[in-house]
Amino acid sequence: MDNLKIIAQKVDANFVQIPKVNADNATLANMLSAAFIAIGGTAIAFLLIGAFKYVISNGDSGEITKAKNTILYAVIGIVVSVSAFTIVQFVLGSIFG
Protein backbone atom coordinates (compact mmCIF):
# COMPACT_ATOMS: atom_id res chain seq x y z
CA MET A 1 0.00 0.00 0.00
CA ASP A 2 2.91 2.38 0.71
CA ASN A 3 4.21 2.02 -2.82
CA LEU A 4 0.83 2.85 -4.33
CA LYS A 5 0.38 6.51 -5.16
CA ILE A 6 -3.00 7.92 -6.04
CA ILE A 7 -2.84 10.90 -8.32
CA ALA A 8 -5.90 13.12 -8.42
CA GLN A 9 -6.16 15.60 -11.21
CA LYS A 10 -8.86 18.04 -12.16
CA VAL A 11 -10.21 17.13 -15.58
CA ASP A 12 -11.64 19.77 -17.85
CA ALA A 13 -15.16 18.82 -18.99
CA ASN A 14 -14.43 20.02 -22.53
CA PHE A 15 -11.39 17.74 -22.71
CA VAL A 16 -13.42 14.55 -22.14
CA GLN A 17 -16.41 15.92 -24.07
CA ILE A 18 -19.07 15.24 -21.47
CA PRO A 19 -22.46 16.20 -22.88
CA LYS A 20 -24.21 19.02 -21.08
CA VAL A 21 -27.90 18.73 -20.28
CA ASN A 22 -30.15 21.68 -19.69
CA ALA A 23 -32.64 20.00 -17.40
CA ASP A 24 -35.37 21.92 -15.63
CA ASN A 25 -38.46 21.07 -13.63
CA ALA A 26 -40.43 20.24 -16.80
CA THR A 27 -37.82 17.63 -17.74
CA LEU A 28 -38.04 16.03 -14.31
CA ALA A 29 -41.84 16.08 -14.42
CA ASN A 30 -41.85 14.50 -17.90
CA MET A 31 -39.45 11.74 -16.86
CA LEU A 32 -41.46 10.91 -13.75
CA SER A 33 -44.73 11.00 -15.69
CA ALA A 34 -43.31 8.59 -18.24
CA ALA A 35 -42.19 6.25 -15.45
CA PHE A 36 -45.59 6.31 -13.77
CA ILE A 37 -47.36 5.76 -17.09
CA ALA A 38 -45.15 2.72 -17.73
CA ILE A 39 -45.85 1.35 -14.25
CA GLY A 40 -49.59 1.96 -14.61
CA GLY A 41 -49.61 0.39 -18.07
CA THR A 42 -47.86 -2.67 -16.74
CA ALA A 43 -50.40 -2.96 -13.93
CA ILE A 44 -53.27 -2.67 -16.42
CA ALA A 45 -51.66 -5.37 -18.56
CA PHE A 46 -51.49 -7.67 -15.53
CA LEU A 47 -55.12 -6.84 -14.75
CA LEU A 48 -56.09 -8.02 -18.24
CA ILE A 49 -53.91 -11.11 -17.90
CA GLY A 50 -55.58 -11.94 -14.58
CA ALA A 51 -59.02 -11.46 -16.10
CA PHE A 52 -58.10 -13.72 -19.02
CA LYS A 53 -56.75 -16.37 -16.64
CA TYR A 54 -59.98 -16.14 -14.64
CA VAL A 55 -62.10 -16.67 -17.75
CA ILE A 56 -60.12 -19.70 -18.95
CA SER A 57 -59.82 -21.32 -15.49
CA ASN A 58 -62.75 -23.73 -16.19
CA GLY A 59 -63.75 -23.82 -12.54
CA ASP A 60 -60.38 -25.06 -11.27
CA SER A 61 -60.16 -23.55 -7.78
CA GLY A 62 -56.37 -23.30 -7.87
CA GLU A 63 -56.38 -21.40 -11.15
CA ILE A 64 -59.22 -19.16 -9.97
CA THR A 65 -57.21 -18.28 -6.86
CA LYS A 66 -54.14 -17.47 -8.96
CA ALA A 67 -56.24 -15.31 -11.29
CA LYS A 68 -57.87 -13.46 -8.38
CA ASN A 69 -54.47 -12.81 -6.82
CA THR A 70 -53.17 -11.47 -10.13
CA ILE A 71 -56.17 -9.14 -10.40
CA LEU A 72 -55.80 -8.04 -6.76
CA TYR A 73 -52.10 -7.25 -7.11
CA ALA A 74 -52.71 -5.43 -10.39
CA VAL A 75 -55.37 -3.24 -8.78
CA ILE A 76 -53.00 -2.53 -5.88
CA GLY A 77 -50.34 -1.60 -8.45
CA ILE A 78 -52.72 0.79 -10.19
CA VAL A 79 -53.68 2.43 -6.89
CA VAL A 80 -50.04 2.79 -5.84
CA SER A 81 -49.08 4.19 -9.25
CA VAL A 82 -51.88 6.76 -9.29
CA SER A 83 -51.15 7.73 -5.67
CA ALA A 84 -47.43 8.12 -6.35
CA PHE A 85 -48.13 10.19 -9.46
CA THR A 86 -50.48 12.46 -7.50
CA ILE A 87 -48.01 12.90 -4.64
CA VAL A 88 -45.12 13.65 -7.00
CA GLN A 89 -47.18 16.19 -8.95
CA PHE A 90 -48.20 17.89 -5.70
CA VAL A 91 -44.62 18.00 -4.41
CA LEU A 92 -43.21 19.28 -7.71
CA GLY A 93 -45.96 21.88 -7.85
CA SER A 94 -45.11 22.99 -4.33
CA ILE A 95 -41.37 23.15 -4.98
CA PHE A 96 -41.31 24.65 -8.45
CA GLY A 97 -44.63 26.52 -8.22
pLDDT in tens, 13-64: 677 777 777 777 778 878 888 998 899 899 999 999 999 999 999 989 999 9
Return the domain boundaries, the chain. 34-96
d(CA 73, CA 51): 12
d(CA 97, CA 93): 5
pTM as predicted: 0.67
C-alpha dist (Å) from residue 38 to 18, 25, 27, 77: 29, 20, 17, 11
The pLDDT of 77-92, averaged and rounded, is 88
Please give the pLDDT value at position 63. 94
